[in-house]
Amino acid sequence: MILPSKERLLRGRAAVIACPREECRICLSACGFTAIRIESGRPYSDPDKCVGCGGCAAICPEGAIRLLRLTNGGAEITFPYEGELPELGDTVTVAPAAGGGPVPARVVWAAPKRPNAAFALVRAVIPETDDPASAEAQRFFQEGEH
């Protein structure tokens, strides 16, 4: 998995793909911005083309695509969700993109599963400043950059 640069994630959401099924390729045809291509046998979202719409994250049958955004000191993650949607303001746990244990995040947006999608989408933020989670937010982006 390749993470976009911090500079790119500060500009807005970008898809990050951790595909377990290289033969599938549903996400390639699902992206209306031709942002996803195959690199080293795996789908990869080009951060220069991705507009962060989330279409690929909702349609991937493996739930393997997330959207990341970085704020000053914090992080936002949009991820596929199964089951009853959480309320805005609820706390959920999310797995950092760079690996490691789950961290708490506050739900700021949720969209139900659309008819042709595989998952609903939930967006949550890891708070900034004066919160231990802020360090965790930075950990999202410490590894795998390019």
List of residues contacting ligand SF4 (CB under 6 A): 15, 17, 19, 21, 24-27, 30-31, 33, 35-36, 43, 45, 50-56, 60-62, 64-65
Which CB, 60 or 105, lies closer to ligand SF4?
Answer: 60
Which CB, 45 or 107, lies closer to ligand SF4?
Answer: 45
Minimum CB separation of residue 135 from ligand SF4 in Å reads 27
From residue 10, give the alpha-carbon distance in Å to each of 25, 73, 97.
28, 10, 15
Minimum CB separation of residue 25 from ligand SF4 in Å reads 5
How far apart are the two ends of the chain, measured CA to CA in Å?
Answer: 11
Distance CA(122)–CA(77), nearest Å, equals 8
Backbone angles phi, psi at 9, to 5 degrees: -70, -25
Minimum CB separation of residue 137 from ligand SF4 in Å reads 21
Neighbours of 109 (CB within 10 A): 12
